Structure 1
Amino acid sequence: MATTPGSVPTISGRGSTRGSGRSRGASRGGLGAGLIELPRVPLRDPATAVMRDPKVSESRRYCSKCEEPVGRGRDGKPGRSEGFCQNCGTPFSFLPRLSQGDLINDRYEVLGALAYGGLGWIYLARDRNVSDSVSDRWVVLKGLINTADADAMAAAVTERRYLVEIDHPSIVKIHDFVQHPDPKTGVPVGYIVMEYVGGQSLRDMLMARRAEGQRVLPLAEVLAYGAEVLPALGYLHGRDLLYCDFKPDNVIHAEEQLKLIDLGAVRRVDDDVSAVYGTPGYQAPEVADVGPSVAADIYTVGRSLAVLSFEFRGFSTTYAGKLPDRAGVPLLAQEESYYRLLVRSTHRDPDRRFQTAADMSDQLLGVLREVLSANDGVPRPVVSRQFTPERRAFGTGAGEVSGEAIPVELQPAGVAAALPLPQVDVLDPGAGFLATLSSTDPAELVRQLESPPVRSTEVSLRLVRARIEAGDLAGAAAGLEELAATDPFDWRVDWYRGIAAMAGDSAGDARVAFDAVYGELPGEPAARLALAASMECTGDKEAALRLYDRVWRVDRGFISAAFGMARILLGSDDRSGALAVLDQVPDSSSHHVTAQVAAVRASLHKGGPIAHADDLLRASGRLERLGLDVERQARLTVEMLEAVLAWLTATNLPPHRLPAGARVLGHDLSERGLRFGLERAYRTMAQIARDPDTKIALVDRANAVRPRTLV
């Protein structure tokens, strides 16, 4: 059993919690969240875990009443382990009360002290009622450092009332509560009896990595541990209990299990009497004034993740209530989603944090998928609980084949009409009414939604969306202001602000709104996609590329991200990078052909001159394999042959410098062969043209491009 040093009581007001209509549950797998295989930690032999010389270091000796240092040495002489506080006279004792061989309650045989923590000594014992000749049942007895500490005694009594009812696979099991006379005073002392978990605490694992020269745990492992402990905290919160003192010391990894230990600081949500215990650097800043809460527990998880994942010097002093500057921490500079997860979970305002463990778990798993996919390139998509899929892919013009001119730059209005939408909360009173709406005409939808049979948040959001689609951006903005006044923490308001701004060609305003959503939902690819699009529209191509890349690595369903990457890479003359991304669009996607057409055009990109004839031949082979219909094939044939003819004319290469027998779309790689190919393509387009003027123009082009012949 690991020690839990550093917990100190906090005098506080009444505990507080804040409910949220935004809360939605989170799914999870086994240890490692079903996404990563964590290292197996072997069980520790209980006999080797007992302390040989149990002592409380002088640096951790404080009076239980006034919190002044006690038991400190002077003039080279060690301090006393027992005595009286010189400041207030309160007696103190830092000696273990139980010794090897003591029998507690005629059942538990003490083997020795395991560790000490803020609330008491921890002893290893053998349960004689269960042990036999084949195996022993090892248990842990947790007593009090100072039996005169009224607060600590009260905490122990509280544990006896309800902790034995806690039953969760990731929380240490409380078996019993027993008493044993103090060997000096004879006064009965209470002990909690809990299961022995013989692994390593996350703090021990961190220290072991440091001893091996690794300063921190790998981020993916840290996130996987977080995904495992959050449901355990959620279980406690669901029973109106608060853990209060979460930290790496209080999480044990044993073989393939992870368990929360040391329930000494657990208290009921409505308990405004008991002392609150926490650890500096981990405890939320508001606890001393308003008491613990679910949001305060969330804060301790965020701080623990930070301590485990990067060198967090001064986390209990200089940075006790804040995170270090992101630019100074390489991990945070590289992993923006993780940084935003930490920012939200440790926000100084409790209302800005995740409001439930499930909320945080959902986003943490999204960040874990992103980190893993960024490391190994393997997509890890999952159905979002917050967003629909993207309604359509945007920015795919490079793969479209039509007679109309396609904009080269990304158009904000097209993005607004394509981005995913927030999922409708099925528990909302208006969800049933919304399911009956069938009209696709925005004006008709606005009329129906302005006089609904029931008014609710979801109905108001749907009305905002209908107004945006109808072009009434002022009406949409007014509706969003009303929603924001009702719930200023609803991220959906910012999402629709971003949609409205893009629809109004105000990409800068959209970027601000989508950035806020990303801060609220750091694990959602849809949030990163929207922000990337707004960044691209404002000209910040490098930042957009990073986000598009992270979206695409996680989920190949976001086709817009692939086209965004290809567009930006091609704009910076990275043709090979653009082609590599477009080739990743899977064959099963309805946009596979579109991506391949874009790849053909990328091979002929005017901004990056064709470097070699092999580029042309590969593009030709790519186009021939697509099997397009006659019209699209003819149009692309014209594009390709015109580009190849221009290249051949510009380079003026002699025939012997060209690949022997090379053919482009079935035509010789020569000026004569290419002109014949263009003539044929133009005449094919003329045959299928419906407009007489267009037909005549195409025939004229065919005649003009035809090489001179004797016939």
Structure 2
Amino acid sequence: MPAVPRVDPKNALLTDPQVPEDKRFCSTCGKPVGRSKGDRPGRPEGFCPHDGTRYSFTPKLTPGTVVAGQYEVQGCLAHGGLGWIYLATDLNVDNRWVVLKGLLDSGDAHAMAAAVAERRFLAQVSHPNIVTIHNFVQHPDEDGTPVGYIVMEYVGGSSLKQLMDDRRRPDRTLDPMPVPRAIAYMLEMLPALGYLHANGLAYCDFKPENVIQYERQLKLIDLGAVIRFDDLTSDVFGTKGYQAPEIGAEGVVDNGPSVASDVHTVGRTLAVLALGMPPTRRGVPTPIPDPGEHPVLARHESFHRLLLRATDPDPLRRFESADEMADQLGGVLREVLATDRAEGVDDGSGDRGPVPPAVSTVFGPPRGTFAPGLLTGPGLGADDSAGPDSAGPDSADPDTADPDTAAPDTGIPGRPDPAQVAALLPVPLVDRDDPGAGLLTASAPSTPADVERVLAAAPKASRALQLALVRAHLEASDPAAATQTLDALAAEDADDWRLDWFRGVTALVEGRVDAACTAFDTVYSTLPGEAAPKLALAAASECAGHDEAAGRYYALVARPDPGVADAAFGLARVRVRAGDRSGALEALDAVPEASSAFVVAQLAAVEVMLSGRFGVRPGEEELRSAAARVEDLRLDEATGERVRTLLFEQAVQLAPNGAGGDALLRCPWDERSLRLALETSLRASARLASDPAHRVVLVDRANAVRPRTWV
């Protein structure tokens, strides 16, 4: 994020500190007070015309006042819902700058109680992203009534609200912050909220006004609304447009502050920053727009899903902790950065390099690559023992193998086998706090009978063991038993996302691909920053024939982590079916050289380049480019000969009679030399073939392509 310069404290003082009339309300009845009548301005002090309660909105401390014999007031910095904020110097500590926060209306009993509560909580708080509290002092009001003031560090910078206000367009609408920057702000602040939660405290009033950036650091300020989770009597303060809907709602059992209510405020703040939307319209919270209504959400589906979960009206459906939200938000940030950089969008970071990979804390790694050879059939990746019915280019019928008429495979790429996908998808990690986690690690049961024995011996009920039983049933090809176990678990806790995950896997095993799509879509909405649900949803969508959705989700996985081979291969397959040769090659070329799938991806790219599926016959340029790809690859002998066969078949069709052009794979560019090279490769492949019938096919093909000679 760009640095924000520190603000000179004296330059931050208000020259005419006043509370705007539209923010003056009676502390008792909540009705407007101190408002203008005609040309006469409203009074900042007086009595409520509705119930007679005294009100005062004037600062109680003037420049030069020394509070508690230690803090000399310099003036007012700002005002808020709970109090004036004064700038002062600490006469006892090298005249350091400090901030005094007092009450907005000293006659407000609720505000006074909030200040006392703030003093109690702040004495316990110590976090680098939370403003430091130095002291709590009292100073008599003009009528002698003692008023409390919190003494805290001076944080010179700009609030996120000020940074947003600086982005106002001439028509007064807000230009949204770049999504990565808005996410970065929340990722910096979520640990501070998590710290408060760990100490039994709810922040309650998280919003852009309460986060200050100075240089490249952030501070959470104004802890006046902090309350203990177990405090059921104190008033709860918040801001409309950010506060969770259940707070104080009638008929809601748990209508007090919670981790979930703080998560809601973070989600709303993130939406305001990244979407440029006002928190309220006509006094009603502005809803999160649909993707069709906002370009940011149309481009970043995972970000939209994260906002929806964080601000879900049902607190039980929100993120369970600040840490969980931060974990998912970090995954969404990587995805947003990768998308922006792939599309040439300025993300505000100044970085255009690849997004570094990350290790999931929720899922294990993929257990294999479920469909690497489906682009144009087994082809170059075919096993050398494949029979004559193999779909590779070296298995054509000998009667049609003459290079004058033969062409590369032009078939549509196959689709993954749902059961194979189910067997190789990542598996949710075992919760280390589960009572059965140690038993699973120690015994490593694999069959349903093994898991049931461990379950019977377990001293406590364990969801990890029950989910292990589901896995064992699936690996034993018994989806009915897996479903029965899942139904029993759902009766205990239906909100566990792992149940949806395994229902999706079960549906794949049974071939119910549309049901699998539904289940994985639910997991994706629950864990929008994880790659595994998107990979599973992409594969299930491809199995179901929904190529548009499959391509979108494969891309969401492949862009931030090109090393996920199935995402690259799946994206390439979808693009081949759509006739997008360059897009398919781009997907395959993104697989990094360090990946174990790099060679397979390059061989698949060769097949794509030489495929006749795209409406035009590959030319010499494509052939030579394909040859350049494989020259530096380290291939086993059988694969190397298959590659040479494919390339020489194409070359024989393209080479003119007589000499001409540069050599191809060290073979002169003339028809006779290329036919001899093709014959040599076919005979070498025949010697390496383990299947006798396939060996005969290769020898017949070699005989058919050999040029006529006297010997």
User: TM above 0.5, one fold?
Assistant: yes
Query: Are the counterparts in 1 of residues 452 and 469 from structure 2 also a CA contact under 8 Å?
Result: no
Shift of 1:59: 0.7
Determine if contact 2:203/2:223 at 8 Å carries over to the other structure.
Answer: yes
Note the 1:578-589 alignment, pairs <5 A. 578-589=584-595
Give unmatched runs, 5+ long, in structure 1.
1-37
Confirm or deny that 1:93 pairs with 2:18.
no
Residue 540 of structure 1, CA deviation = 2.4
Residues in 2 aligned to 1:274 and 1:201: alpha-carbon distance in whole angstroms: 28
Quick check: 1:280–1:316 contact (8 Å CA) kept in 2? no
1:612 corresponds to which residue? Answer: 619
Aligned partners of 1:245 and 1:277 also within 8 Å: yes
Letter in 1 for 2:78: A
Q: Deviation at 1:491? A: 1.2
Is the 8 Å Cα contact of residues 430 and 458 (structure 1) preserved in structure 2?
yes
CA deviation after TM superposition for structure 1 residue 45, in Å: 0.9
Q: What amino acid is aligned across from residue 383 of structure 1 in structure 2?
A: V
Partner of 2:180: 220
Residue 163 of structure 1 is matched in structure 2 by 122
Tell me the CA shift for residue 176 of structure 1: 1.2
Change (3 A) 1:581 1:670: same
Following superposition of structure 1 onto structure 2, how do residues 314-333 of structure 1 map, counting pairs within 5 Å?
Answer: 315-317=280-282, 320=285, 322-333=287-298
Q: 1:558 aligns with which of 544, 564, 585?
A: 564
Q: Which amino acid aligns with 2:639?
A: R
Query: Counterpart of 1:637?
Result: 644
Q: Is the 8 A contact 1:244 1:296 kept in 2?
A: yes
| Pairing partner for 1:387 from 327, 350, 363 | 363
Residue identity in the other structure for 1:694: H
1:181 maps to 140
Q: Contact between 1:144 and 1:152, CA under 8 Å: does it hold in 2?
A: yes
Give the counterpart of 1:479 among 480, 485, 496: 485
- The Cα offsets for residues 78-137 of structure 1, whole Å up to 9 and x where unpaired, read as 111111112222111111111111111111111111111111111111111112xxxx31
Q: What is the identity, as a one-letter code, of the residue corresponding to 2:382?
A: V
Task: State the partner residue of 1:453.
Answer: 458
| Secondary structure at the counterpart of residue 190 of structure 1 | strand
Letter in 2 for 1:288: G
How many angstroms apart in 2 are the aligned matches of 1:384 and 1:552? 15
* Structure 1 residue aligned with 2:403: none
Q: Does 1:400 align with 2:376?
A: no
Residue 196 (str. 1) matches residue 196 (str. 2): no
CA distance in 2, matches of 1:705, 1:373: 48
User: Are 1:593 and 2:599 an aligned pair?
Assistant: yes
* Deviation sequence 1:469-498 (CA, Å, 0-9, x none): 111111111111222222222111111111
What is the match of residue 28 of structure 2? 65
One-letter amino acid of the counterpart of residue 682, structure 2: Y
Cα distance in 1 for partners of 2:444, 2:247 equals: 50
Matches within 5 A, 1:42-121: 42-121=5-84
After superposition, residues 317-356 of structure 1 pair within 5 angstroms as 317=282, 320=285, 322-356=287-321
- Deviation at residue 250 of structure 1 after TM alignment: 0.2
Which aligned pairs between 1:235-384 and structure 2 lie closer than 5 A? 235-289=195-249, 290-313=255-278, 315-317=280-282, 320=285, 322-376=287-341, 378-384=354-360
The one of 516, 529, 539 equivalent to 2:522 is 516
Judge conservation of contact 1:200–1:253 (CA < 8 Å) in 2: yes
CA distance in 2, matches of 1:166, 1:106: 25
1:554 aligned counterpart, secondary structure: coil
User: What CA RMSD, in Å, does the superposition of the two structures yield over aligned residues?
Assistant: 2.2
On the 8 A contact 1:373/1:380 being kept in 2, the answer is no
1:436-476 CA-partner distances (Å, limit 9, x unpaired): 34565x46655655645354110111111111111111111
AA aligned to 1:427 is: D
How many Å apart are 1:707 and its aligned residue?
Answer: 3.0
Alignment of 1:204-215 (within 5 A): 204-210=162-168, 215=175
Where do 1:640-655 residues align within 5 Å? 640-645=647-652, 648=654, 655=657
Query: CA–CA distance in 2 between the matches of 1:380 and 1:292?
Result: 37
Structure 2 residue 591 is the aligned partner of structure 1 residue 628: no
Q: Distance in 1 between matches of 2:372 and 2:39?
A: 77
- Contact persistence 1:285–1:321 (CA under 8 A): no
Partner-residue secondary structure (3-state), 2:134: strand
Give the aligned partner of residue 699 of structure 2: 699
| 1:205-248 alpha-carbon deviations (Å, 9 max, x no partner) | 11112269971221111111100110001111111111111100
- Which residue identity does 1:370 align to in structure 2? E
Q: Counterparts of 1:667 and 1:119 in 2: how far apart (Å)?
A: 84
Match of 1:490 among 482, 487, 496: 496
Looking at structure 2, the residues matched to 665 and 499 of structure 1 have their Cα atoms a distance apart, in angstroms, of 46
Count of residue correspondences:
661
Which range is displaced more, 202-211 or 576-585? 576-585
Q: CA deviation at 1:353?
A: 0.3
Any conservation in 1 of the 2:415–2:542 contact (CA below 8 Å)?
A: no
Provide the identity percentage: 50
Give the Cα–Cα distance (whole angstroms) in 1 for the partners of residues 2 and 529 of structure 2: 24
Q: Equivalents in 2 of 1:439, 1:705: separation in Å?
A: 56
Other-structure match for 1:427? 433
In the superposition, the TM-score normalised over structure 1's length comes to: 0.89
Residue identity matched to 1:89: G
Shift of 1:304: 0.4
Change (3 A) 1:682 1:451: farther
